[in-house]
């Protein structure tokens, strides 16, 4: 059987056995209960990234989106003079309330996390809510284009590498991978062997699936390459590269890929859907001079993304 054609790469998501699985598959008043994702990251009020992307994108795939905001910023950190209100102290009481209420999630998705303490608290949260049949999806948001975002350093990347051991699916870009693995950042000119070796090193951190974003083996082609350690299955999707790098596209990619996985697309299909959605969002933005900082107009591409899950 063609591995890429495997119907469901996380078959656990469609099984029904224990009470914790109840909410997903139980027929309730004639309706299949909606899937539920918890996403844990900051909310940057302006700049279209993190929660302001995850919420609309995941909801558009008809999945309930629960949020644990880890900080409120006036803008993302590429703007100058942003404000920052840390919500670390809320993580534990919020978690305890959810445990009390026996709330369960089909997936836990982490993005930008701002401190060592947050990483430790979110590890505990994952341990509390992880089951045999839900999915931990980690986007180790720390940097791009060879440099770390403001506020991060090598020590944080080292701690993030430990955090990533809890991932079922890990989706770094090459910058984040190089900091976590202590390998030099290579912007272009690498070959497939280099990417395969990088993926193997990422798998050594502990995730089941590792996917590198923003990969280009030939000029004009941009895509994603990944591997599923459980089957050896390669994930690969490329399309014509659009000019320009924009802020927030990593969050659009991660949110849409996870949404597609939770809606039971195969790994290859989910990452192709996400890459196409990012490309369509960039296409819709090409004439917007503010987009580099303010983020791409993914809203324009959202209806066609959503139609794939109707």
Strands (E), 12-160: 27-28, 31-32, 36-46, 64-75, 84-86, 107-110, 135-138, 143-144, 147-148
How is residue 3 annotated by DSSP?
A: G
Please list the residues that pair with 234 across neighbouring strands: 227
DSSP helix/strand/coil, 270: helix
Shortest Cβ 17–ligand PXL spacing (Å): 37
Q: Quick one: 140 or 223, whose CB is closer to ligand PXL?
A: 140
Q: Enumerate residues 97-136 that contact ligand PXL by CB under 6 A.
A: 112
Which member of 39, 42, 137, 267 binds ligand PXL (CB under 6 A)?
42
Choose the stretch contacting ligand PXL; rule: CB under 6 A; options: 41-49, 169-177, 181-189, 216-224. Answer: 41-49
CB of 20 or CB of 159, closer to ligand PXL: 159
Binds ligand PXL by CB under 6 A, chosen from 73, 180, 215, 235:
73
Whole-number minimum distance, CB 6 to ligand PXL, in Å? 31
The two structure tokens encoding residue 34: 């909606």
Cα 108 from chain centroid? Answer: 10
**Choices 16-24, 44-52, 130-138, 205-213 (CB under 6 A): range interacting with ligand PXL:** 44-52
Q: How many Cα atoms are found within 13 Å in the side-chain-facing hemisphere of 262? A: 32
d(CA 33, CA 60): 16
Between 73 and 122, CB nearer to ligand PXL: 73
Residue 305 CB, nearest approach to ligand PXL (Å): 18
Kindly determine how many residues on this chain lie close enough to bind ligand PXL according to the rule CB under 6 A. Answer: 14
Neighbours of 15 (CB within 10 A): 14
Determine the straight-line distance between the first and last CA of the chain, rounded to whole angstroms.
28
Instruction: Give the residue with the Cβ less far from ligand PXL, 104 or 114.
Output: 114
| Spatial contact of 282 and 244, defined as CB atoms under 8 Å apart | yes
The tokens for 17 are 């056995």
Choose among 213, 170, 232: nearest CA to 3: 232
What would the x/- binding string for ligand PXL be over residues 137 to 166, using CB under 6 A?
Answer: ----x-------x-----------------
**By CB under 6 A, which span of 32-40, 73-81, 188-196, 299-307 interacts with ligand PXL?**
73-81
Q: What minimum distance in Å lies between the beta carbon of 42 and ligand PXL?
A: 5
Does residue 76 bind ligand PXL (CB under 6 A)?
yes
Residue 301 to residue 56: CA distance in whole angstroms: 12
Alpha-carbon distance 83 to 45, whole Å? 10
Q: Residue 251, interface with ligand PXL (CB under 6 A)?
A: yes
Cα separation, 38 vs 309, in Å, equals 19
Closer Cβ to ligand PXL, 83 or 154, answer by number: 83
Minimum CB distance to ligand PXL smaller for 228 or for 251: 251
Which residues lie near ligand PXL (CB under 6 A)? 42, 44, 49-50, 73, 76-78, 112, 141, 149, 248, 250-251
């Amino acid at each position: 059987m063609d591995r890429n054609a495997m119907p469901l790469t996380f078959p656990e998501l469609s099984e029904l056995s224990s009470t914790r699985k109840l909410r997903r598959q139980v027929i309730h008043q004639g309706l299949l209960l909606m899937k539920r994702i918890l996403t844990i990251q900051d909310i940057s009020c302006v700049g279209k990234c993190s929660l302001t992307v995850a919420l609309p994108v995941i909801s558009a795939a008809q999945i309930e989106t629960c949020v644990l905001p880890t900080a409120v910023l006036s803008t993302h950190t590429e703007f100058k003079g942003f404000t920052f209100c840390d919500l670390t102290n809320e993580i534990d009481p919020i978690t305890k309330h959810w445990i009390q209420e026996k709330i369960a999630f089909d997936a836990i998705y982490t993005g930008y996390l701002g401190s060592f303490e947050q990483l430790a608290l979110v590890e505990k949260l994952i341990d509390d809510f992880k089951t045999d049949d839900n999915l931990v999806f980690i986007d180790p948001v720390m940097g791009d284009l060879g440099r770390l975002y403001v506020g991060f350093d090598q020590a944080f990347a080292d701690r993030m590498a430990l955090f990533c051991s809890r991932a079922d699916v890990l989706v770094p870009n090459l910058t984040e991978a190089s900091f976590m693995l202590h390998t030099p950042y290579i912007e272009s000119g690498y070959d497939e062997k280099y990417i395969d070796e990088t993926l193997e090193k990422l798998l050594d951190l502990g995730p089941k699936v590792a996917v590198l974003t923003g990969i280009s083996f030939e000029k004009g082609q941009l895509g994603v390459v990944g591997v599923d350690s459980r089957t050896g299955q390669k994930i690969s999707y490329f399309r014509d590269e659009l000019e320009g790098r924009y802020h927030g596209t990593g969050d659009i990619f991660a949110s849409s890929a996870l949404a597609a996985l939770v809606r039971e697309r195969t790994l290859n299909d989910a990452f192709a859907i996400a890459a196409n959605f990012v490309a369509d969002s960039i296409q819709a933005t090409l004439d917007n001079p503010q987009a580099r900082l303010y983020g791409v107009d993914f809203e324009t591409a959202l209806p066609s993304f959503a139609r794939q899950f109707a």
